[in-house]
Amino acid sequence: MNKIIEQTALIGGGVIGGGWAARLLLNGIDVKVFDPASSAERTLQEMLVNAELAYSKLTMAPLVKQGKIEFVDSIEEAVKNVDFIQESAPENPELKRDILREIEQYASESALICSSTSGIKPTTLQSEMKHPERFMVGHPFNPVYLLPLVEICGGEKTTAAAKQSAAEFYRNIGMKPLILRKEIDAFIADRLLEAVWREGLWLIRDDVATTEELDDAIRFGFGLRWAQMGLFETYRVAGGQAGMQHFISQFGPTLSWPWTKLMDVPELNEELIEKIVSQSDAQSGKYSIRKLERIRDDNLVAIMQGLKLNDWGAGAVLKEYEERLYEKAHSEIVASEPDLSKPLALFEAKVLPDWLDYNGHMTESRYLQVFGDATDAFLNFIGMDENYRKQGFSVYTVETHIRHLQEVAGGEPLLVETQLLGFDEKRLRIIHKLLHVPSGNVLATGEHMLLHVNTTAGGACTFGKILYEKLAEIWQGHQNLTAPEFVGNGIMNLI
């Protein structure tokens, strides 16, 4: 069992160092940061705000108490008495070696030291170190606080134990360490990225595509695949039932075709084919191709649905597609003046993927969100629009009584019916019924007391004429409706 790492130092606090700071702090680990740039502290604090926001959305699990951050004025102050040091200085071997020399002057001999370098060999960096055995590359990916991958690459003098300790540390802060079996420039991921970058530069230089077109070619296509399976598992599935062997026999020949400008290619001989096929079997052989297809499809669906919530990329395409489907399906339905002799149906919604709790049902607070949106639709209906609010008036909910009657799963269509229970010159009381559209079942009821307020002066005030008259008009109809029998009730006593 390794020593628990609680004190860390970051040398360099830019995009990468700042990302490390955020990930460590959010995992309860103290960091001391040294960065000679005067703007470093401000930029890092801004990044930390982003990271906190991202983590608040990432998980409903209670986060650990944040670690403490301290900005210091020298490498000496940063590295004294810490167990772990991450260097994220610019990509300059000389500079990095100088930093490592200074780190070793003040740090404990047993502190782990990792470099964030994107491609410089650890053997090069550790060549002049006094205790090189605890030094390695720990190469993360931006944004460091969210992306799980960290490549661990040791140099000639790095011990296996040190690599294992670093891997354990990274795993504990939510990462996926990948320990390299061989030391090469640029490791693994950046080799692939560099290849794409080089081909991308050719395409821009030759006016084949713009940066935007290149990005679109990625994010609407293979980029979606690569968020869940990589190159080889994807191609295994693309090979159909015959898998990788079939894929290579179909696309192997293209290696000698001018399909990129990068023509320094390896020879795809029997030996290399056999190696790929057997490695692919070891990797994915436990699943049939049909099963892999379903896994892939479920993942792609989940990714596109997630992106749809953000109206971005492939999610925006899906959103537009759905809108057209809805439009088409409802093309006959003409908007009509609502019938005030029955409850108003002003709000529809669908249970979205991120509304689900650990039981797979719509989580508690989303009921109130739907009721809140239905209340907004009701307020809009009585004339409280953006313009009305701009004049310094609003309507606040002061009291809410929700009865949860039935669960509802993801994707289900919802409808809210709203009944006016009464109003006076500054308050109104409504009841919402949340209905599951296909079954008509009542999933929940919400009873709400709302107060008209002057947002600039503060405090309650009487409704404007528009709102009051519309409320009176609705009341003409709704006063004849029976109030549900639970209305006005409190929660029962159990003692």
- Of residues 78 through 137, those in contact with its own copies by CB under 8 A are 90-91, 118-119
Q: Between residues 77 and 183, which has the closer beta carbon with respect to its own copies?
A: 183
Distance CA 337, CA 312 (A): 35
Q: Between residues 111 and 120, which has the closer beta carbon with respect to its own copies?
A: 120
Closest approach of its own copies to the CB of residue 66, in Å: 10
In the set 175, 362, 415, 443, which binds its own copies (CB under 8 A)?
175
* Cα dihedral 327/328/330/336 (nearest 10): 60
Q: Between residues 111 and 136, which has the closer beta carbon with respect to its own copies?
A: 136
The helix-helix angle for 231-238 and 289-309 (nearest 10°) equals: 120
Q: Which helix (H) or strand (E) element contains residue 138?
A: strand 135-140
411 sits near its own copies (criterion: CB under 8 A) = yes
Closest approach of its own copies to the CB of residue 225, in Å: 7
In the set 7, 30, 41, 54, which binds its own copies (CB under 8 A)?
54
Are residues 304 and 314 in contact, defined by beta-carbon separation less than 8 angstroms? yes
Q: Which stretch binds its own copies (CB under 8 A): 76-84, 96-104, 279-287, 336-344?
A: 279-287
Distance CA 364, CA 493 (A): 22
From residue 454 to residue 473, the character string flagging contacts with its own copies as x (rule: CB under 8 A) and all else as - is -x------------------
In the set 184, 460, 466, 472, which binds its own copies (CB under 8 A)?
184
245 sits near its own copies (criterion: CB under 8 A) = no
Distance CA 480, CA 483 (A): 9
217 sits near its own copies (criterion: CB under 8 A) = yes
> Could you tell me which residues come within 8 angstroms of residue 361 by beta carbon, excluding any fewer than 6 positions away?
407, 408, 409
Distance CA 183, CA 177 (A): 16
Closest approach of its own copies to the CB of residue 107, in Å: 27
> Could you tell me which residues come within 8 angstroms of residue 301 by beta carbon, excluding any fewer than 6 positions away?
none
12 sits near its own copies (criterion: CB under 8 A) = no
Name the DSSP letter for residue 35: -
How many other C-beta atoms can be found within 10 angstroms of the C-beta atom of residue 11? 26
197 sits near its own copies (criterion: CB under 8 A) = yes
* Cα dihedral 250/256/261/262 (nearest 10): 90
Q: What is the DSSP string of 314-338?
A: HHHHHHHHHHHHHHHHTTTPPP---
In the set 64, 160, 460, 472, which binds its own copies (CB under 8 A)?
64
393 sits near its own copies (criterion: CB under 8 A) = no
Closest approach of its own copies to the CB of residue 110, in Å: 26
In the set 87, 104, 151, 417, which binds its own copies (CB under 8 A)?
151
Q: Which residues pair with 416 in a beta bridge?
A: 347, 434
Distance CA 80, CA 87 (A): 15
Closest approach of its own copies to the CB of residue 139, in Å: 9
In the set 174, 383, 464, 477, which binds its own copies (CB under 8 A)?
174
Distance CA 419, CA 427 (A): 15
Q: Between residues 30 and 119, which has the closer beta carbon with respect to its own copies?
A: 119
Q: Which stretch binds its own copies (CB under 8 A): 42-50, 75-83, 334-342, 462-470?
A: 42-50
> And the tokens for 354?
């991120």
State the amino acid at position 365 in one-letter form.
Answer: S
142 sits near its own copies (criterion: CB under 8 A) = yes
> And the tokens for 357?
């709790």
Q: Between residues 86 and 305, which has the closer beta carbon with respect to its own copies?
A: 305
Closest approach of its own copies to the CB of residue 323, in Å: 8
In the set 128, 322, 339, 473, which binds its own copies (CB under 8 A)?
322
340 sits near its own copies (criterion: CB under 8 A) = no
Q: Which stretch binds its own copies (CB under 8 A): 72-80, 105-113, 158-166, 256-264?
A: 256-264
Are residues 142 and 15 in contact, defined by beta-carbon separation less than 8 angstroms? yes
User: Residue count at the site for its own copies (CB under 8 A)?
Assistant: 205
Q: Which stretch binds its own copies (CB under 8 A): 76-84, 96-104, 105-113, 357-365?
A: 357-365
| 361-390 positions binding its own copies, by CB under 8 A | 363-369, 371-373, 375-377, 389
178 sits near its own copies (criterion: CB under 8 A) = yes
Longest dimension (CA), the chain: 89
- Decide the pairing of beta strands 7-11 and 30-34: parallel
